[in-house]
Amino acid sequence: MNRFIFFLILILFLKNCTTIATRTDTKNNQAPEKGSFAFQVDPNDIKADFISKVIRYRLQKMGFKENTSSPDFYISFRYSVKGAGEWKRVVTQTSGPYGGYPYYFGYGYSSANVYSTEIYNKMFSVRFLDTKENILWHGESNEENSCSEIIVTVPELIVSVLDQYPKSFLNRKRSFFRGDDETSEIRKQFPEVDWTCN
């Protein structure tokens, strides 16, 4: 019983210290380094509306301004969440014979429990387009964990994509620890959002 409680506490502790690891690719064709932007977003997509708010906040911190009437470039993005399999772990418990030293009798026992967790791949892709729809800059970030909610990891996905803007790179990996400065700042800007995975 004590081992079970120990493992339960350990799992809860590790869950609260979870890192989010992203893989990011970006391509710079002629990325704007200043100017104004406007979004090309489906107004009926609630998640896309929220994601555009996070992008807007991040870009304004980088010195860009939003201008919906005559922008220098447009921003379009897409996102997806797909099942990526299961993560399995086996916990084995063993016990020796009954009785205490020196009077051992009987046989010990062993039991194994298999726990599985669904894993989800979250993808976020963003494009900066000129007024003729030519791609000026493109970035894509992917992340896998047990949470199926894209909103929960939007700060990490957006920070990892825009973090080295306007550079180009392939398969850049970055880990975010709970309490990361950049992502915590974004979360503080949107206190109405439930950032926990249900």
pLDDT at 104: 59
- CA distances, 167 to each of 63, 115, 128, 176, 196 (Å): 16, 42, 13, 20, 32
Average pLDDT score over residue span 20-26: 87
Question: In this predicted model, what pLDDT tens digit does every residue of 43-64 receive, in sequence order?
Answer: 899 999 999 999 999 999 999 9
The confidence band for 116, taking pLDDT boundaries of 50, 70 and 90, is: confident
More confident residue, 132 or 87: 132
Average pLDDT score over residue span 100-128: 77
Average pLDDT score over residue span 10-34: 75
pLDDT at 139: 95
**pTM for the model:** 0.77
Tell me the average pLDDT of the chain.
85
Q: In this predicted structure, which of 16-20, 158-162, 182-186 has the lowest mean pLDDT?
A: 16-20
The confidence band for 108, taking pLDDT boundaries of 50, 70 and 90, is: low
Q: Which residues neighbour 35 within 8 Å (Cβ) at sequence distance 6 or greater? A: 64, 65, 71, 72, 73
Nearest-CA neighbor of 48 among 75, 79, 71?
A: 79
Q: Domain limits of the chain? A: 18-87+119-189
Average pLDDT score over residue span 172-182: 88
Tell me: pLDDT of 17 over 60. no
CATH class of 18-87+119-189: alpha beta
State the burial class of residue 55 (Cβ atoms within 10 Å of its Cβ: 0-12, 13-18, 19+).
buried
Nearest-CA neighbor of 61 among 192, 189, 151, 175?
A: 189
